[in-house]
Chain A
């Protein structure tokens, strides 16, 4: 690149940024990771007295941990499946069909993003109160489903629009049925982006804390909700640390797959940048 404000020789600015960010962003997580593999760590020792897996056994022996893992996974699968079932056909329609109000309806999915999120959740909870959905599994499903709509429609619309139309028309010309064209031409091309959208909505739902806490707790206890109660009431530090490491797994998977998407400029533009 021709214009560099930072000199090429030794990138001191970069080294300072890298050092500070490592300290501020990586170090706290390393501390949590260390706690998870610690049997004994008493104040004021700088390093743990004894490393080990004792608390993994104890944490994984707790019934509340397993029930929240299964609640979280059931919720995330249900919400993602429902979201895919209603959003993907809609995305196809927005990308390929013309109908009255197409643009207005397309942008209506932004409506929720003009309001502070928790305020909106409280307003929704007001509606759920009259419908007796507070403290129920389906109440949490509904509130998390609303949170996935924008991504599950906008990203697949872009994917369907990027499919090469000439290939579809060529297939139609040699007599392929519309379904066959969709299955053999459209879906394979749009597939990877749609899979990324599905993965993002699964991970997003798995970590969704505010709706689950406001609508579901204490009856519906997801992993993040259990983690809040560990932080507030659990004197054994290692339980929280082990749970943090377990909780991070889906995010790590998303990190492996979504890094390219996030680093691309189109992602930031999707947020209005």
Chain B
């Protein structure tokens, strides 16, 4: 009996090499082809061609030139870029210390901190939105507490660009911490000990020993966050300002309320374009991990 070498998936015995496996996988594969790959191709084709007067079709980037010359579309795009950038930076600032602490601590408190850091994964973003409004919204709990000690109200982040930022960071903490923690598993205790023995301070340790070893995990965490945040819908729709709005609510409104499906699909293709580098990097990393 010989073993077929089939790459990433574990090899199976060749005497079973029968194409009826294809039949078993056909339905989900066709579903992906029909509802993932075809819509993307169709979106690009639909927005890049126009019907000419004689019934034929010609390449035209009219819808894109409208998007990139329309002030409102551009301010929505720049608001989305701003939110994504601020969220990604905040996520790193918040999650890297948590992950470092969890990796190098074995105290009882660490288990509790890890439980808390992962907890938002089990809170649907719709409940988070409601909790946000009750706590940070007008006359929310923070206002109540400030009022009770005689301090003035906060300027509520609800319905400002900071609303979605706070919500999206909260929502993305668990996976960012888990991905960074998984990367920190590659930093051996010996290398940390060795660096300390030769007198490296905490900062030098972080900069020269730890960060170079987890740079790939940091990029994966950022890519994952960017893909999720760039076209986020629920949190910006509920917590963000009405205008300018992020691309998610903007596309939804264009599609369902203005009924301009071609314009909405153009906006979708624009989001694909801005995220393609992160998307390909992310998928490549996941595939590499699965194959390993």
Contact = CB atoms under 8 A, between A and B. Distances in A.
Interface of A: 1-6, 8, 11, 13-15, 17-18, 21-22, 24-29, 31-32, 35, 43-46, 86-87, 89-90, 92-103, 105-120, 122-127, 129, 142-143, 145-146, 149, 153-154, 157, 161, 207, 209-210, 213-214, 217, 224, 227-228, 231-232, 237, 240-241, 244, 247-248, 251-252, 254-255, 259, 262-263, 265, 267-273
Contact of A18 (B27, B43, B116): B116
Contact of A3 (B109, B121, B189): B189
Interface string B103-134: 01111111011101111111111111111111
Contacts of A146: 31-32, 35-36
B130 A32 contact: yes
B126 A227 contact: yes
Contact of B124 (A18, A207, A268): A207
A103 B221 contact: no
A93 B17 CA distance: 11
A217 B130 CA distance: 20
A38 to B, nearest CB: 11
Contacts of B279: 113-116
Contact of A231 (B182, B192, B238, B276): B238
B29 A108 contact: yes
Interface in B175-198: 175, 178-183, 185, 189-190, 192-193, 196
14 contacts: A29-B127, A46-B148, A90-B25, A93-B21, A103-B9, A111-B36, A116-B231, A116-B279, A118-B247, A127-B35, A209-B126, A224-B234, A244-B130, A273-B289
B96 interface: no
A145 B287 contact: no
Interface of B: 4, 6-10, 12, 14, 16-22, 24-25, 27-29, 31-33, 35-40, 42-43, 46, 97-98, 100-101, 104-110, 112-114, 116-135, 139, 141, 144-145, 147-148, 170, 173, 175, 178-183, 185, 189-190, 192-193, 196, 202, 205, 217, 220-221, 223-224, 227-228, 230-234, 237-238, 247-248, 251-252, 255-256, 261, 264-265, 267-269, 271-272, 275-276, 279-280, 282-283, 285-287, 289-290
The 4 residue pairs across chains A and B that have the minimum distance between CB atoms: A273-B179, A14-B109, A97-B21, A99-B21
Nearest to A148: B28
A122 B251 contact: yes
B126 A127 contact: no
Contact of B4 (A98, A116, A142, A269): A98
Contact of B287 (A98, A110, A263): A110
B6 A237 contact: no
B124 A247 contact: yes
Nearest to B11: A98
A127 B22 contact: no
Given A29-B123, A44-B144, A255-B122, A271 B28 contact: no
A165 B181 CA distance: 33
Contact of B24 (A21, A92, A100, A254): A92
Contact of B32 (A13, A108, A207, A262): A108
Nearest to B149: A46
A105 to B, nearest CB: 5
Given A21-B113, A115-B40, A214-B256, A4 B104 contact: yes
A113 B286 contact: yes
B218 to A, nearest CB: 10
Contacts of A18: 109, 112-113, 116
A259 B114 CA distance: 11
Contacts of B113: 14, 17-18, 21
B171 to A, nearest CB: 11
Q: Which of B127, B178, B205, B230 has the most CB of A within 10 A?
A: B127
